Amino acid sequence: MKVKKLKGYVLPSFIALLLMVAFGIAMLFKSSMTEAVFSDDNDYKYTTKSIFRNYIPTNAVEVTISKPITVDDITIYKNYYNKDANDEERKNSIIYYENVYMQNSGIDYSYNQEFDVVSILDGTVINVGEDEMLGKFVEIRHSNDMISLYQSLGAINVKKDDEVSRGDVIAKSGKSKLYKDIENGLHFELSYKGSYVNPNDYFMKKVQDL
């Protein structure tokens, strides 16, 4: 059987072809790595569009909803009215004002001295004012369809459109006509997706779990 030998120029040509292909791939890769992310700003070439196309989202830092107060031994003067609670709990959640009985739509705190009132989450102050019955108030909108309302306040530290962070002191405790026997109090209400909810069901709950 006769074995054919390759001509002398075939092998070098094949190797040269492989080198050209490898060089072409390397140049293409380099070009994609230096492609600007923003078409209108060619000065930024330290990242690639492919990073944004192929990124794997990671979980954000877990945030819990804090209470609007920082005092541990504070008294809950009136709790949120829960129709499913027992008779005694429902009775203690009824507000009596000027011969009118009302179901409490929030939580009323009372303390023996002035205390700080803090924001339960990051948010934007959407209203600051004074109500004839409930006194000075601050209303904050949060990014998770939640609005927190702080009433019966004393000195207020924020104004409308201010950005606040979770735990920021937004006001001091105060008083209102609703509870004339409370000198240092807070009436707190929480709205979620347009409805008043029991704040106790949301305190210390992770925002991601709502």
Sign of CA dihedral 70, 75, 77, 78: positive
Confidence of residue 66 (pLDDT cuts 50, 70, 90): very high
pLDDT tens digits, residue range 177-188?
888 889 999 999
DSSP 53: H
Please report the pLDDT score of residue 3 as a whole number: 43
- What percentage of the chain carries pLDDT values higher than 90? 56
Q: pTM to 2 decimals?
A: 0.70
Confidence of residue 12 (pLDDT cuts 50, 70, 90): low
The residues near 90 (Cβ < 8 Å, ≥ 6 apart) are: 81, 82, 83
**Is the domain of 48 the same as that of 90?**
no
Task: Inform me whether the pLDDT recorded for 54 exceeds 70.
Answer: no
**Is the domain of 48 the same as that of 80?**
no
Please report the pLDDT score of residue 44 as a whole number: 39
**Is the domain of 125 the same as that of 170?**
yes
Residue 155: inside a domain: yes
**Is the domain of 179 the same as that of 92?**
yes
- What percentage of the chain carries pLDDT values higher than 70? 71
**Is the domain of 46 the same as that of 80?**
no
Task: Inform me whether the pLDDT recorded for 52 exceeds 70.
Answer: no
**Is the domain of 79 the same as that of 180?**
yes
pLDDT tens digits, residue range 131-154?
988 999 999 999 889 999 999 999
**Is the domain of 79 the same as that of 169?**
yes
Residue 101: inside a domain: yes
Residue 181: inside a domain: yes
What does the buried/exposed string (b/e) look like for 151-170 if buried means 16 or more CB atoms within 10 Å of the residue's CB? bbbbebebeeebebebebeb
Task: Inform me whether the pLDDT recorded for 55 exceeds 80.
Answer: no
Task: Inform me whether the pLDDT recorded for 73 exceeds 70.
Answer: yes
DSSP 13: H
Residue 63: inside a domain: no
**Is the domain of 32 the same as that of 114?**
no
Domain residues for 26?
A: 10-54
Give the count of domains, the chain.
Answer: 2
The residues near 2 (Cβ < 8 Å, ≥ 6 apart) are: none
Residue 2: inside a domain: no
**Is the domain of 79 the same as that of 183?**
yes
**Is the domain of 21 the same as that of 100?**
no
